[in-house]
């Protein structure tokens, strides 16, 4: 095999060219002919049973040369990857046969090059929008988090006064109507709901509070971001309450901690401290992420980044697929969604353009910071991360390492955290 490479600067693409000839290609052509002959459909004969002269009439050069190409593509790609070249793929190379004959085959592997970037200063950035907030954890936040642990051991019993209150479990049938007409998906039987869980649309659970066994009605307004056909519309639900159960949560004491069996936590005070730390860490990280996103936007604004259209279009394709999944989550096809909203593929892709561009630029900026600062987590940091995740999810660190989160994945996450911490600490 012979290899060459080139850059197509105006398109932001690179090409690896591989030529297969000589005995290697002759053997591939021979096998291609045999494969096509074995599978060709000839009237009056079973596959592989026709006379040679008949087979030759149906085994055309186009067919067997194509089969030969398919048999060498992967081998040619592996060969190309082993060659030394300054033309390095940024995206997965796409193979294309460019010249095929009985004597040789030329394959081109086309890919996007990593976009050129001249990064601006990414330290010491000052801006009126860059403000670092003081993070606090309120007592009620800790209580709510611990209540989630208590929920695991909640007991239920029939409520004596038969009046729905917050925290109760209600079993009921329901059917929703808009302008007196039932709407699709608005009906349920023997539905189980914890009042205050937030699992229903705003106003529904509050509407059940104070209700008794039997039939009643609840009026609500669908949220603006609901499915298009129900967005902002007023609805009336007819509900038939069948059961009302009181939920009894376990006491906040060491017995609860014993039942939870969390690693390295033996007392209720230790549970409170652990929960407080988790909340503080999460709020701190969220605050840092928001701050750093603003920093990255400022770096993008002041850097020189040339993105090829192909890279942007590919990212738009990815975002469009994510958008399709969200629409499907609303039980709508894209055709139905576009009909209801008046949007087209073109207008949706136009809206995704800036998101796609920002996402690529953000990756390039952080990758450049990573390269310049040479971030690499230590073994101690990796182990500390496993212990932190162990405490957070209640799973032994060794099991996490062996069965759920490989070390390479944890290291990559740590590098991302290092980049965020670095940009947070050195700016604002």
CATH code, 25? 3.30.70.1050
User: Tens digits of per-residue pLDDT, 217-256?
Assistant: 999 999 988 877 888 999 999 999 999 999 999 999 999 9
pLDDT range class, residue 68, cuts 50, 70, 90? very high
Give me the number of domains the chain comprises. Answer: 3
Q: Residue 47: its pLDDT value, please?
A: 65
Q: What is the mean pLDDT of the chain?
A: 92
Q: What percent of the chain stands above pLDDT 70? A: 97
Check whether residue 405 and residue 316 sit in a common domain. Answer: yes
User: Residues 24-30: what's their mean pLDDT?
Assistant: 95
Contacts 24+ apart (CB under 8 A), 204-207: 204/237, 207/237
Domain for residue 282, yes or no?
yes
18 or 184: which carries more pLDDT confidence? 18
Q: Of 230 and 80, which is predicted with more confidence?
A: 80
pLDDT of residue 419: 96
Q: Would you say residue 91 has pLDDT above 90? A: no
Domain shared by 207 and 166, yes or no: yes
pLDDT tens digit string along 149-207? 999 999 999 998 889 999 999 999 999 999 999 998 899 999 999 999 999 999 999 99
Q: What share of the chain is helix, strand, coil (3-state, %, to 5)?
A: 50, 20, 30
Q: Determine the average pLDDT of the residues in 17-32.
A: 96
Question: Domain boundary residue among 197, 219, 248?
Answer: 248
The answer to the question of residue 20 being in a domain is yes
- Is it the case that residue 55 has pLDDT exceeding 80? no
pLDDT tens readout for residues 120-131: 999 999 999 899
* E strand spans, 161-264: 169-178, 181-194, 214-221, 234-248
Confidence band, pLDDT 50/70/90 cuts, at residue 49: low
Q: SS3 of 332, please? A: coil
Q: What does the pLDDT read at residue 109?
A: 98
Residues 291 and 386 in one domain: yes
Q: Is the pLDDT of residue 58 over 80?
A: no
Q: How far apart are CA 63 and CA 177, in angstroms?
A: 61
| Residue 35 in domain | yes
- Return the residue matching tokens 């009906």: 187
Clarify whether residues 244 and 260 are in a common domain: no
Which range among 26-40, 145-159, 261-275 shows the weakest confidence by mean pLDDT? 26-40
State whether 214 and 176 are in the same domain: yes
User: DSSP code of 123?
Assistant: S
Residue showing tokens 């055309």: 60
pLDDT digits (tens, 9 = 90+) for 299-328: 999 999 988 888 899 899 999 999 999 999
Domain with 34 in it = 2-114
Between the two ends of the chain, the Cα-to-Cα distance in Å is 55
What pLDDT score does 289 carry? 94
**Model confidence, pTM:** 0.69
Same domain, 218 and 266: no
pLDDT score at 356 = 96
Predicted local confidence at residue 379, as pLDDT: 93
């Amino acid at each position: 095999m012979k290899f060459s490479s080139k850059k197509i600067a105006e398109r932001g693409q690179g090409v690896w060219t591989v030529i297969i000839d000589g005995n290697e290609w002759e053997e591939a052509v021979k096998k291609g002919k045999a494969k096509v002959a074995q599978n060709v459909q000839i009237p009056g004969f079973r596959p592989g049973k026709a006379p040679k002269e008949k087979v030759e009439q149906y085994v055309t050069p186009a067919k067997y040369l194509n089969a030969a190409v398919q048999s060498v593509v992967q081998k040619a790609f592996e060969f190309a990857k082993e060659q030394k070249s300054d033309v390095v793929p940024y995206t997965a190379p796409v193979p294309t046969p460019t010249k095929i004959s009985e004597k040789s085959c030329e394959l081109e592997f086309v890919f996007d090059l990593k976009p050129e970037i001249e990064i601006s200063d990414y330290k010491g950035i000052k801006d009126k929008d860059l403000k670092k907030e003081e993070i606090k954890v309120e007592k009620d936040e800790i209580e709510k988090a611990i209540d989630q642990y208590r929920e695991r051991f909640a007991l239920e019993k029939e409520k004596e006064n038969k009046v729905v209150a917050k925290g109760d479990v209600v079993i009921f049938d329901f059917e929703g109507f808009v302008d007196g007409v039932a709407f699709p998906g608005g009906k349920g039987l023997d539905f189980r709901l914890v009042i205050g869980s937030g699992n229903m649309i705003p106003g529904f659970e509050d509407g059940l509070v104070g209700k008794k066994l039997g039939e009643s009605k609840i009026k609500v307004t669908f949220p603006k971001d609901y499915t298009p056909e129900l967005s902002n519309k007023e609805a009336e639900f007819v509900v038939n309450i069948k059961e009302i159960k009181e939920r009894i949560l376990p006491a906040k004491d060491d017995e609860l901690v014993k039942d939870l069996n969390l690693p390295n936590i033996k007392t209720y005070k230790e549970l409170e401290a652990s929960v407080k730390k988790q909340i503080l860490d999460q709020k701190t990280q969220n605050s840092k992420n928001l701050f750093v996103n603003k920093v990255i936007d400022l770096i993008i604004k002041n850097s020189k980044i040339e993105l090829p259209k192909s890279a942007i279009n590919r990212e738009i394709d990815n975002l469009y697929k994510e958008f399709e999944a969200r629409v499907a989550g609303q039980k709508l096809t894209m055709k139905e969604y576009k009909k209801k909203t008046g949007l087209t593929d073109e207008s949706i892709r136009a809206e995704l353009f800036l998101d796609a561009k920002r996402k690529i630029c953000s990756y390039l900026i952080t990758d450049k910071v990573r390269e310049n600062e040479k971030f690499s987590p230590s073994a101690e940091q990796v182990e500390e991360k496993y212990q932190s995740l162990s405490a957070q999810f209640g799973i032994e660190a060794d099991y996490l390492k062996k069965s759920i989160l490989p070390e390479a994945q944890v290291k990559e996450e740590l590098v991302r955290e290092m980049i965020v911490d670095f940009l947070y600490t050195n700016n604002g």
